[in-house]
Amino acid sequence: MLTGHALIVGFVVCLVVLFLLIIKFKWDAFIALMVVALGLGLLSSIPVTDVPNVIATGFGNTLAGVGVLIGLGIIFGQFLAASGAISKIATGMLRAFGINKSPYAMAATSITVAIPVFFDAAFIILHKLIQNLSVKTKISLSTFVAILAIGLITAHSLIIPTPGPLVVADQTGADIGIFFIYGLLVAIPGVIVGGVIYGKFVGKRLTNEGRLYESEVIDYEVGKNQSGRKEISAGLSFGILALPIVLILGNTVMNLIFPDTSAATFFTIIGDKNVALLISVIVAMFSLKPYIKEDTKTVFSDAFNQSGMVLLITGAGGAFGKVVQETGIGDLLINLMQGMNMPALLLAFLFSQILRASLGSATVALVTTSSIMGPMAVDLGVSPVLLGLAICAGGIGLSMPNDSGFWVVSKFGRLTVTETLRVWSIGGFISGVTALVFIYILSAFSGFLPGL
């Protein structure tokens, strides 16, 4: 039975074992998290007979908070992708900004598209578009790869309703509407600095020579529908994407401005995170059906295939976090941190960043870190929203070859491993640090900002 500082050492050993199981022995993250949670529980002061129940409770409580929303969010994103709405949003952004400002158009597109669609799928959907833009604008493909990839992963890690930020908001007890607003505010400078500015810098050193030829994409027309399905309009695409966000924010705004009124009660119902996304899925099912080539059952099947593993990993991360809470490691970490004078926001960022780099999954890093640190927000004396955002910022960068996203960027961005590290891994790290800086700026003005 481990106690005191020996318990912290045991916790670190468990993290090392977790890394080895996933990276070295190629275990699935779900199985690895469950095994490590069981091992830590047995080594701690938790009664042996209670360990399985603690794991089950952590798993269930985590999914009770976000499980429905994750499933609905993936279904919603799948309908948007299958209908061509994602591509239409991208071309709409390009028309709004103009071809000469295409880097900023792509940054705006990446942030917008990442809200309903997972990183890998969004990058694959849009990779032909950035190739075409590179040829038309004579801007290095590496620049556009950086902007698209960093924009997608930054929004994926910071902006609700993607799974990671949802779990973080739930674990910290933050209002979901407030968390969305500040997550968006923090994501924008991160994408501009880590994506656009750094992308232009690295693009000057990684030219298109030997990487992209005009003949490959000269006949590719931006926005042209080549699937044979009816083409969706930009207005409908943006409208469907905005629907759950408007409902969720409507709930937050109405309860802030007109509390205890019938209107606030109405928005409390339709603006509930689960209800808002359920309404959005139903609207998408009917309004997007004419634009989907596949059968609706196929769209649902693809969504279910994606959501199953995400739900299992999310639950397992919550189970591990619950075991850590029950062992009392949280209090020990607080005391250790106070002794080192390490700020809570920095500790949250570093913890999440280490897990991100080591495990290769932003979602696992966010779920695990928030499960451990989220309930400690009051004891740490920091805003739950700011603590949650710091955790999310840590999950953005330092993607290594153990991350599937690393190889998606490498393959579809036409980059070597070394170039991918320069463009994607470093760019993401810069974006995460930039986000953390802006979180500290928000912290400095927290007394004047609502919800903080």
Integer Cα distance of 162 and 18 in angstroms: 24
219: pLDDT strictly greater than 60: no
**Cβ distance 77 to 117 under 8 Å?**
yes
How confident is the model at residue 152, as a pLDDT?
Answer: 93
More confident residue, 86 or 222: 86
Interval 163-218: pLDDT, tens: 889 889 988 989 888 999 999 999 999 999 999 999 999 998 887 776 665 555 54
The whole-number average pLDDT for the span 232-248 is 88
Region of poorest pLDDT, from 149-153, 267-271, 281-285, 417-421: 417-421
Q: What is the mean pLDDT of residues 264-272?
A: 90
- Cβ contact 392:165 at 8 Å: yes
Q: Is the pLDDT of residue 229 over 80?
A: no
Residue 223 has pLDDT above 60, yes or no: no
Which of 417, 449, 77 minimizes the C-alpha distance to 243? 77
Residue found under tokens 């924008």 = 188
Side-chain half-sphere exposure of 15, counting CA atoms within 13 A:
21
The C-alpha atoms of residue 47 and residue 70 are separated, in whole angstroms, by 33
Does 227 score more than 60 pLDDT?
A: no
Which residue bears the tokens 């047995």?
42
- Collapse the DSSP code of 175 into the 3-class scheme (helix H, G, I; strand E, B; otherwise coil) and give the result: coil
| Predicted local distance difference test score (pLDDT) of residue 228 | 57
Chain position carrying tokens 């930009």: 234
Cβ atoms within 10 Å of 227's Cβ, excluding its own: 14
Tokens representing 428 are 């993401």
Contact indicator for 124, 152 with CB cutoff of 8 Å? no
pLDDT digits (tens, 9 = 90+) for 58-82: 899 878 877 887 788 889 888 988 8
Task: State pLDDT tens for residues 279-333.
Answer: 999 999 999 999 998 888 999 998 898 788 778 887 887 888 888 878 877 667 6
CB count, 10 Å around CB of 95? 12
Q: What pLDDT is attached to residue 222?
A: 44
Q: What is the pLDDT of residues 17-40, one digit of tens each?
A: 887 887 788 888 889 889 999 999
Q: Which helix (H) or strand (E) element contains residue 212?
A: none
The predicted pLDDT at position 357 comes to 81
Q: pLDDT band for 334, please (50, 70, 90 cuts).
A: low
Position 437 confidence tier, pLDDT thresholds 50, 70, 90: very high
- For residue 144, the number of C-alpha atoms closer than 13 Å in the C-beta half-sphere is 29
The answer to whether residues 393 and 188 touch, using CB atoms and an 8 Å cutoff, is no
Higher pLDDT, 225 or 272: 272
Kindly state the tokens that stand for 147: 């902007």
Work out the mean pLDDT of the chain and round it to a whole number: 85
Residue type, 441: I
Q: What is the pLDDT of residue 221?
A: 44
Show Cβ contacts of residue 445 under 8 Å, excluding neighbours closer than 6 positions. none
% the chain with pLDDT above 70 = 92
Interval 246-269 mean pLDDT: 86
CB 130 within 8 A of CB 139: no
In angstroms, the CA 322 to CA 117 distance is: 29
353 backbone φψ class: left, alpha, beta (φ>0; ψ -120 to 50): alpha
| Angle between the N-to-C axes of helices 141-158 and 119-137, in degrees from 0 to 180, rounded to the nearest 10 | 150
Span 96-112, mean pLDDT? 87
pLDDT tens per residue across span 348-363: 999 899 888 877 778 8
Q: Is 269 exposed, middle or buried (0-12, 13-18, 19+ CB in 10 A)?
A: exposed
Using an 8 Å Cβ cutoff, are 234 and 87 in contact? Answer: no
